[in-house]
Structure 1
């Protein structure tokens, strides 16, 4: 593995040299693939258009984040920005020099890439829904038309392009090796396929809450087993603090446990809010546009809220409430914009 990673470091250096003048664009693409974007942009956008697809997007985000943590703790992969300093393949006089950026210093283990995995899973659901809609439209026009067939595959071409640029950006900023982002895309596609075949819209409140509790319990069980085996689950945080060029680039909200808190808060509060304010949707493009715009603005305003990090447990709990508030506001805003009679089946 060290030999493979040494080859990938050479590839990483080449990327930084070729695209060095476009670092801000790379940082933007990396930010676009941030798992937080799934909760702050994708869920509000899709849920306000289609409740069923929105629920699938949320479940894809939650399941891919949890599986990503599970795999990270099992595989324990290094990240390039600290591996070049820790590897015994190099001496001090020939150690590779790689640049770090403000988004480089992720704190969890490196494999598989969470950005690649969550973004692929979430956008797979979105593009699958769009492709299905386009296929339905083509049946009413001219399904054998080359133009219509091309239009129907456009969502999948977009997904491939998006996953590619996110992967390149993550390698460019030295937070992942190439094999880590490729594995993330592969697992993300599998998660997307699995969720796309679930009837998530028919899940009861207890199913949503039960899975959220299961994710938390499974995470702490894995954490406890690792600790009992004298393996420090926070080893990657130590290396991140040691080798990141700037202390302020290491953020507590990139830790694996914060991600689980976000997943728990989002899924449980969504289920609770739907139970009380869920509606039968009233069709209307204008209503949907208003709901989407308002939900996205509200989500970004909630994201601006910051909590003190003096107490880590309280910080994680507030993270759960924060992202739970995003989905609650989305459900409530859709209730106001696309109102109807309360859905008795929830």
Structure 2
């Protein structure tokens, strides 16, 4: 079985606080390490009351400090929001504290809406076109031999450290760039599934071997919500559906408890949009997940899966990831 990792959005549940969210994230990471998950990534989002991982490098340090061997990283840092030197120093610090365990996943979107982009001092006309230049500068701070950093500026810590860089995306831009640079690529099909297969083809067809990779390595993001029965899993999944529905309506909020009937909450148009956004989701029992994951593996030839799952109840969230871990271990044992 290919490696399986976790993407955590550090959800803030209705009635909870970001502090609660951080404690739950660490608890999940500690369980994930015990269950054999490969990586634990956290994502940068801003101006979203239901997501508390905005200061991504800080929460990465918190999780890495509370675990011992699982890789911890960003899925991702939105590079145009930050000076490349600052990211090099932050992740150089993390790698110095937790050597051999830190991943740097980078995206080119703002991870926010326009008002938040203004507050981040991001240029309002920016469309990510400068991402390749920012990436080149960042890589130059970590590896001065590339000669792409600003002259006479050094990242301390950061310089000379082996920090794997991943490019993240939901379109072909980062896929093609990752291939040309010989970097690993992760596609955000857990919320933007439409371009997955073309992006993977673009990445693989443009891949050039590098010091980082001899051959392409593609990670695919997927939502999985698992429970003992399909019915229970579908009920748990209504929290995630409500979250996407609120985003569609322009009113992102905290993660809500499950409901018995989504039909009372959305219009047919909203339902279609949410279901399309979540089409790369697997909701069900272990056997349901086994069958659907096998199909997706055949479709994508993914080298690694990274799983997201917005579940309101923390015990149910732990149970979901435990079921997936059991499934992966069973598949591995039966090879």
Q: Which has the larger radius of gyration?
A: 1
Between structures 1 and 2, the one with greater strand share: 2
For Structure 1 versus Structure 2, the TM-score category normalised by the shorter chain is under 0.3
Q: TM-score under structure 1 normalisation?
A: 0.23
Greater RCO (Cα-Cα under 8 Å, separation 6 or more): 1
Between structures 1 and 2, the one with greater helix share: 1
Q: TM-score under structure 2 normalisation?
A: 0.24
